[in-house]
Structure 1
């Protein structure tokens, strides 16, 4: 059987070769209806598109870069699944890099993707001036940027995340309604959502007439997981020794939520095992280790789907310094 060519598709659909070529590369000049018609015919008849040759001609890579903290983290794995679900039906491929919430590594990831000539980057960035400044720079010279999850930064682009104040408030309120009075909040110092979740926590305490006590706030740097465990162990030991033992623990990041369950299994913390736990996590097994935890589950797949869909739309049109962007807020689920 003869190999199907662009010319053959054009004749079969009564279109010009130029229109068929642009439709196959998702050009903004071609209507969605025509793109679908051309791609349906091409797929049905076994057309193989030479992306490499086309990209060299157009000065595009048809690559989308994705920077996440850690692929093994369920939260980011689900985001990647959502991105792939959308990209599967496009002409773009995905390049994934991990930063492990390290500023230098994240800057290196962004630099690698930029040098590879990716057409756009989807990222959940550390809220650090060097990173936000770097992303703003490459956006201004033509690379499209989409921010997921960590949306509380100055970068002017599409952002998809959740209402971190609301979830911080509701998570704390749930613990208070369960009878907790001394809630230890464990959070990060560099992530974009930290301060907003803390504000929600403080507001919930205030609503119940409870003063904020800094003894029950522990802020760690997620760049070093081994150090985090030592810091948490040290704070729990301090609270026990000072007769300030908390009756609830609220972990404000996925990593912290997964970690606290393991820490409280240690022999020296048997007294903590009956306390109420609340945490942000998408790990379906976090409550399966003998310590029930109420969880705030974020719509990670939807974040990935929406982020990649918005990026594909941006890539269809010409870059303009006057573009308008929006921040999309999704609802979380609290599972008791």
Structure 2
């Protein structure tokens, strides 16, 4: 359990790292900190004393305690820590992420850079901790896969502080829209549209879609699903749109599919589009339990063309994802930004543009034409 003085110390440090306290700005008084954290004056003085000795704060007699200007120290540290790039991803060893990371790590290693990997497990608190570590340890650049990119992010100030400290970053797979960052993404909306249109072209009209809605990829893929129905003048049954959050991914899609499959034959869906291959393969178990054959009784389309698309007995029709190529391109772009920062700190990042990969349909044997 964290000590009281350490809690105060970390809270002040966090406000420095997220830019709340700027260099030479006066921080809260001892009395205010005592009230804020419900601790003694001794505890506050202990926390402040350590931050002063570590160079985070400085005192002026009779005036108070102020945030230190760490820019000179940062310059020295950056020289010591040159050739370090951080990669923050939602997951490291799960699903498509190893391929993306491998692509980035391989390119960076070839160019003499050390890579530090951080996994948020799609949790904002973990993201905050890693951003603080990156701001403290002075990495030259950061490749970031956003955490729950479809909802308001509580860590925006940390990204703004990266910008203030001239630490370049790019986002992969998704992005925080409010920051308008450089990003390397797939056209998820188009991918979702291709998924649904493939099934519509095969004669399916009752298509259920499963979409993870706390990541922007899921909301865009759902938009594509809706667009495909409208373009083909097919009515959209609201019950056929199943959305779920990260913490629900192991339960809600399965429960909802069981409900839909329990409907009478005329109302039961004939096809499924999935947020990703991982979900599609998992839903195959529900279909087996219901003695439904794929694609004879029901068609299913995945997304990402991951290794999972070919490992089960049903080979998935799916949407391609650049995977390794996305990682390589992210590494290439971050090194361009690092070079620009080191060579010309005033050069605008506008000279480098975001990249959007085009999705393609990969047809296997999990879909068939309705007769």
TM-score when scaled to structure 2? 0.68
* C-alpha displacement of 1:142: 1.8
The Cα offsets for residues 260-297 of structure 1, whole Å up to 9 and x where unpaired, read as 234434x2x32364311111133224343233321112
Cα distance in 2, alignment partners of residues 104 and 207 from structure 1: 41
Alignment of 1:1-336 (within 5 A): 56=77, 58=79, 60-126=81-147, 127=149, 128-151=152-175, 153-222=177-246, 224=247, 227-243=248-264, 244-265=267-288, 267=289, 269-271=290-292, 273=294, 274-318=297-341, 319-320=345-346, 322-324=348-350, 325-336=352-363
Total equivalences in the alignment = 278
* C-alpha displacement of 1:59: 5.3
Cα distance in 1, alignment partners of residues 307 and 177 from structure 2: 29
Aligned in 2, Cα 1:289/1:295: closer, same or farther, shift over 3 Å?
same
Cα distance in 1, alignment partners of residues 280 and 100 from structure 2: 18
Cα distance in 2, alignment partners of residues 258 and 113 from structure 1: 36
Cα distance in 2, alignment partners of residues 55 and 263 from structure 1: 58
Is the contact between residue 136 and residue 156 of structure 1 (CA under 8 Å) also seen in structure 2?
Answer: no
Cα distance in 2, alignment partners of residues 97 and 254 from structure 1: 24
SS at match of 1:316: helix
Aligned in 2, Cα 1:111/1:145: closer, same or farther, shift over 3 Å?
same
Aligned in 2, Cα 1:240/1:157: closer, same or farther, shift over 3 Å?
closer
* C-alpha displacement of 1:179: 2.1
SS at match of 1:286: helix
Aligned in 2, Cα 1:86/1:288: closer, same or farther, shift over 3 Å?
closer
Cα distance in 2, alignment partners of residues 131 and 211 from structure 1: 40
SS at match of 2:154: helix
Cα distance in 1, alignment partners of residues 184 and 359 from structure 2: 13
SS at match of 1:204: helix
Which residue in 2 is equivalent to 1:43? none
Cα distance in 1, alignment partners of residues 228 and 280 from structure 2: 20
Aligned in 2, Cα 1:302/1:230: closer, same or farther, shift over 3 Å?
same
The Cα offsets for residues 176-198 of structure 1, whole Å up to 9 and x where unpaired, read as 11221111111111112222221
Runs of 4+ in 1 over 6 A off after TM superposition: none
Name stretches of at least 5 consecutive residues in structure 2 with no aligned partner.
1-74, 364-371
Structure with bigger RCO (C-alpha 8 Å, 6+ apart): 1
